[in-house]
Amino acid sequence: MVTMCDTTAQAVADITDGSTVLIGGFGMAGMPVALIDALIDHGATELTVVSNNAGNGDTGLAALLAAGRVRKVICSFPRQSDSWVFDELYRGGRIELEVVPQGTLAERMRAAGAGIGAFYCPTGVGTLLAAGKETRHIDGRTYILEYPLSGDFALIGAYTADRIGNLLYRKTARNFGPVMATAAATTIVQVHNIVDTGALDPEAVVTPSIYVDKVVQV
């Protein structure tokens, strides 16, 4: 049963030290900035964060990194023109990094949500990303074995929720939200709008309420 939270602080209150937190966003598109700010205020530390990139500028995920709350980042794009917070932490040996190709990152989370034990993927074959991983030749092509990636919590941004937690997203702000919602033990969502149950076209719902635990309107 979804909980409609009055504040972002209430939404993130159960996140504990050492948690693995899946954070949606493609750059800033779809990044749940209000929930991240609440997590900073909450104080949980030693977090492992899974996200597409390692923060932009000084806000959102970058602010969480700057606050010293993250032990490890698992992402696809750790370095870009405005990733100076992560760069400084990584070069100083103050944060761990695991690089995962973008499609593999999404599929590992999808596998976690679908209950798939592992899968073979060609991405990364012949590179350092394949080091130590099991390989297999299938129909003349080499694949590496990848394992599911789940989270204790997911923080995602959606556009509209109804009162039982069905979600709609706005264009590219959808990005990793749907797979992260399925891969986390507890999914926490910030939304722009909350509508009455029954107001959403069931055929248009992207994330069904069964995957959603907490919703807060921001």
pLDDT tens, 100-159? 999 999 999 999 999 999 999 999 999 999 999 999 999 999 999 999 999 999 999 999
Task: Look at residue 131 and tell me if it is in a domain.
Answer: no
Task: Look at residue 156 and tell me if it is in a domain.
Answer: yes
> Whole-angstrom Cα distance, residue 206 to residue 55?
25
> Whole-angstrom Cα distance, residue 178 to residue 181?
5
Overall average pLDDT of the 50-54 stretch: 96
Task: Look at residue 138 and tell me if it is in a domain.
Answer: no
Task: Look at residue 153 and tell me if it is in a domain.
Answer: yes
Q: Would you say residue 80 has pLDDT above 90?
A: no
Assign 3-class secondary structure to 129-180. HHCCCCEEEECCEEEEEECCCCEEEEEEEEEEEECCCCEECCHHHHCCHHHH
User: Whole domain around residue 102: which residue ranges?
Assistant: 3-117+149-217
How many domains would you assign to the chain? 1
Task: Look at residue 167 and tell me if it is in a domain.
Answer: yes
pLDDT of residue 162: 98
Task: Look at residue 130 and tell me if it is in a domain.
Answer: no
Task: Look at residue 25 and tell me if it is in a domain.
Answer: yes
pTM of the model: 0.96
> Whole-angstrom Cα distance, residue 135 to residue 166?
39
Task: Look at residue 85 and tell me if it is in a domain.
Answer: yes
Q: What is the CATH number of the domain that holds 204?
A: 3.40.1080.10
Where does the pLDDT of residue 81 fall: very low under 50, low under 70, confident under 90, or very high at 90 and above?
confident
